[in-house]
Copies of this chain bind each other. A is one copy, B any other.
Amino acid sequence: MTYTNNYTLAELAEHIGAQLQGDADTEINGLHTLQDAKAGQLSFLANPSYQRYLETTEATAVILHPDMAPAFGGNKLVIDDPYLAYAKLSKLFDSAPDGMGGIHPSAVVDESAQLGEGVSIGPNAFVERDVRLGDGVVIGANSCVGAESVIGQRTRLFSNVSVYHGVTIGDDVRLHSGSVIGADGFGNAHEVVDGQFSWVKIHQLGGVRIGNRVEVGACTTIDRGALGDTIIEDGVILDNYVMIGHNVKVGRNTAMAARSGIAGSTEVGERCIIAGGVGIAGHLSIVADTTITAMSIVTKSIKEAGSYSSGTGTQPTASWRKNAVRYSQLDKLVGRLSKLEKTMVKLLPKDE
């Protein structure tokens, strides 16, 4: 199923600032890939390896780079960054349902809550005491917003989102289903009394502050601070299952892909790219413009921008098993190599 709206090519060209070559009045009712586009749809060529589909595409128009324009005979929107243009147009064609408008009778909203203009609160949602919701906020069905939390304008919680007490969220933020903001950080001291070990919970007294234009994926969790707040700055984008520990700070416009996590008190700079499955240990500092490749572990601070990795390549399991055994002997193997080198030196003629 694809949700769509209708626009003329001229409207679309103007929206993205592209040069229109073709029939300005042609109506476009959707977006699709070159391979799968049907008549009436717009497509784009961002990756040169898909150029071969230009010949066979059924798309009514295509967004492409000036260099590629001669290769396509149909209607075109010519622009330097077709992928960015596609991203901008995707919003126009998004006809996904908005909030329902108004407060559903089954929702429970504490009378002390302050609601802006045009707030939508879905069925069976719960808004606790002293919450403030900005204009145009949408609270999805079965979502909860805890006491004294503040949510900025046009921010949307999809269904089944949990926001604890004392959380501050900016404008134009999207929180997907299953996300949890402000649960306790994992802080524990231990004590031994009469030889009996036990954990002593460190109550988490801080909150969470999320900036503007932040995207929070499904089932992503951002824990509240132990003392002081956990901070997600403006423009951060988080995929599903991203784990943000207590008192972490994620810098502006940093992106974190699914299944990645940051342990307590680590600060990640601006514009970092944290790929899927990455784990970053606690109490570290990661400089701006750092990339961490998928499933890497980071256990030391990174002070120089660049790309970092850990792990091994992938192989057939049979050969991998042998190599994994050798890994466990690696330090000893180096000892054998060093010994050989020393012996070799003795064997060689002196002038060699």
Contacts and interface: CB of A to CB of B under 8 A. Distances in A.
Interface of A: 1-4, 30-33, 36, 81, 83-84, 86-88, 90-91, 93-94, 96-97, 104, 106, 108, 122-124, 126, 128-129, 140-144, 146-148, 158-162, 164-166, 168, 174, 176-178, 180, 183-184, 186-191, 197-207, 213, 215, 217-219, 221, 223, 226-229, 235, 237, 239-241, 243, 245, 253, 255, 257-259, 261, 263, 271, 276-277, 279, 281, 291, 293-300, 306-331, 333-334, 336-337, 340-341, 343-344, 347-348
Contacts of A204: 90, 94
Contacts of A31: 205, 227
A187, A240, A294, A326 — most chain B CB neighbours (10 Å): A240
B144 A160 contact: yes
A229 B183 contact: no
A166 B3 contact: yes
Given A90-B205, A198-B235, A313 B340 contact: no
A153 B322 CA distance: 49
Contact of A337 (B158, B184, B328, B340): B340
A140 B183 CA distance: 13
9 contacts: A32-B227, A36-B227, A84-B200, A87-B200, A162-B218, A199-B255, A201-B215, A258-B263, A337-B340
Given A91-B203, A123-B124, A312-B324, 18 more contacts: A3-B166, A36-B228, A90-B205, A93-B203, A96-B203, A108-B123, A188-B255, A198-B213, A198-B253, A241-B241, A243-B259, A261-B276, A263-B276, A310-B320, A323-B330, A323-B331, A326-B330, A340-B340
A123 B109 CA distance: 10
Contacts of A300: 314
A312 B340 contact: no
A253 B193 CA distance: 14
B294 A294 contact: no
A4 to B, nearest CB: 7
A241 B243 contact: yes
A319 B306 CA distance: 12
A126 B297 CA distance: 41
Contacts of A228: 2, 32-33, 36
Given A240-B223, A295-B279, A313-B325, A126 B142 contact: yes
Contacts of A241: 219, 221, 241, 243, 261
Contact of A317 (B104, B293, B326): B293
